[in-house]
């Protein structure tokens, strides 16, 4: 199944100059970039992404940290497409807690902070990247971040290998 998914390179990934490295990982395995933009997220927009559901599941403090973090600097937003792209991207990104993310994943290779450290210091966990969690999230997040006019159809050489 060909799927679309959202990836955000968060402010820490941009500030640490990891944008090219992260994007190249997705391109190397054959995912296609349908849309990409470099933006500074406003608080109003961040609240549409990190909805009240997050507060219900993970607590209001966590949501507030996420809102603070995503608005502290520029973000690179990507819409990626490929065979089972949602699951593939989640596997490549690694676990949400950098300390626990497997080596070879983006978070496992480029970050190390633990939940306990972040909680103790009342800071958001800086984990470089957001990726849609599942099909339902992707179907909500992609149109939030990209209009249809901002998504481009074209063929890449990898596509001849999946037909």
* Residue 81, C-beta contacts closer than 8 angstroms, at least 6 positions apart: 2, 3, 4, 5, 31, 32, 34
The owner of tokens 């941009």 is 14
Q: 133 is written with which tokens?
A: 């969690």
CA atoms within 13 A on the CB side of 5: 27
Of 100, 154, 145, 118, the C-alpha closest to 9 is: 145
**Which is the catalytic residue, given 40, 130, 158, 161?**
130
Instruction: Confirm whether 130 is a catalytic residue.
Output: yes
Would you name the residues annotated as active-site residues? 130
């Amino acid at each position: 199944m060909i799927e679309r998914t959202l990836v955000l390179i968060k402010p820490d990934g941009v500030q640490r100059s990891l944008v090219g490295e992260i994007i190249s990982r997705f391109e190397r395995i054959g995912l296609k970039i349908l849309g990409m933009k470099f933006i500074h997220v406003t608080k109003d927009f961040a609240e549409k992404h990190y909805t009240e559901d997050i507060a219900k599941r993970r607590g209001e403090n966590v949501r507030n940290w996420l809102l603070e973090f995503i608005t502290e600097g520029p973000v690179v937003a990507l819409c990626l497409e490929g065979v089972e792209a949602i699951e593939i991207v989640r596997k490549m990104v690694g676990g949400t807690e950098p300390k626990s993310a497997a080596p070879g994943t983006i978070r496992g290779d480029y970050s190390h902070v633990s939940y306990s450290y972040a909680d103790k210091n009342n800071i958001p966990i800086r984990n470089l990247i957001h990726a849609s969690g599942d099909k339902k999230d992707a179907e909500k997040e992609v149109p939030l971040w990209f209009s249809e006019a901002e998504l481009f159809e074209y063929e890449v050489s990898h596509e001849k290998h999946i037909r």
